[in-house]
Structure 1
Amino acid sequence: MKQEKIIKLFLVDDDPLFLKSLEIEFLQNGNCTIETFTTGELCIENLSHNPDVIILDYHLDGIDKTAINGIDTLDKINLSHPQIPVIMLSSQDSIEVAVNCMHHQAFDYIVKSETAFMRLQKAIKTILHYKKMEKQLNWYMERM
C-alpha cells in the first residue's frame, strides 16, 4: 500500500488561540508536520525549512503593531520562494480583501469561520494535486 507523503505546513497568525486551534486540527486530521509563527518576519526567516504550503493571516499586527502585515509577507515569500503556495486567511469577509490577496498571487483566500478548516483542507488537496500533475508533466516533457 502506497503511503501518503507527509506535508510540511507553516501556520502564520498573530492570534495565539486561533493559531493553536488550527495546529491541533491539522495534527489530528492531517498527514502533516507543522511549524507555527506569530509574525511574518519569523515565517520569512524560516523559509529554508521548505514548507509545502503556507497558511498566512491577512493582518498579523494584532500583537506587534510594527510587524509586517500578511500582504507584505506574501510579497516577500513570492519574491524569494515563488514555488511555495500561500493560502491567505482572514476574519474579513470582504471581496476587496480577497481580490487584493489574489492580485498578490495568493493561491486562495479563506475567511475564518466554522468552515475554515474544511476549506483549508480542500485548498491543500488542490495544491498537492497540482504539484503532482506538474511533476508528471515535467517527467513526460523530459522524455520527449
Structure 2
Amino acid sequence: IAQSIAVTAEKKENMLFSEPVLFNKQVVVVRKEHCPNDVTELARKTVYACNGSPAVIRLENLSEDIGDSIFIVESDLGEEELIEKVRSEEIDYFVCDSRTANLYADSLLSCETVVGFSQSESWAFRKKSPHLKELFDHFMHTFKTTHEYQDLYNKYYK
C-alpha cells in the first residue's frame, strides 16, 4: 500500500517510519451552526472517529486534558460516510485529518476547530528493513527540493 501513515507510539512498536513526508492535524467536522469555538466545548458531547484512527487517541488525550468526558464512538464506517452523516444531521461531531475534511467540506460544514497538535505522516517499513527506510529517506530528502515534488504536493495536498 502506497500512502503516508500517521505516526503513533503504538505503530512505532511494530514498524519503522521514514522521516516525516507531510504534517497533518485532526479537526472537528461539524455543521456550521454547531461549530465549537474551541475543543473544550466537546466536553460531554458524542464525537465520532473512524475505528483505529489517530483521532481516537487524540480525543482520549483531549478528554483527559480538559478533565471532562468526551463520548467517543469508534465507527467502522469510512471518513466520507461519516462526513455525510454530519451533513445529513445523523451525527453532530466527527474528527478526522484536515486534508480529508477539507476535501469534503462545503458551505454547510465547518472543519476549522483543531484537535491537538500537528501530526507527522510517514511511510512505514518492516522492522527488518532499515536499509530500505534509509534509502527512502535519502530519496525523499533529495526529491523534496525538486519542482516535480512541488507540483505533486500542490496538486494533491493544497
| Structure with higher strand content | 2
Normalising to structure 1: TM-score of the pair? Answer: 0.34
- Please tell me whether Structure 1 or Structure 2 has the larger radius of gyration of its CA atoms: 2
Normalising to structure 2: TM-score of the pair? Answer: 0.32
| Structure with higher helix content | 1
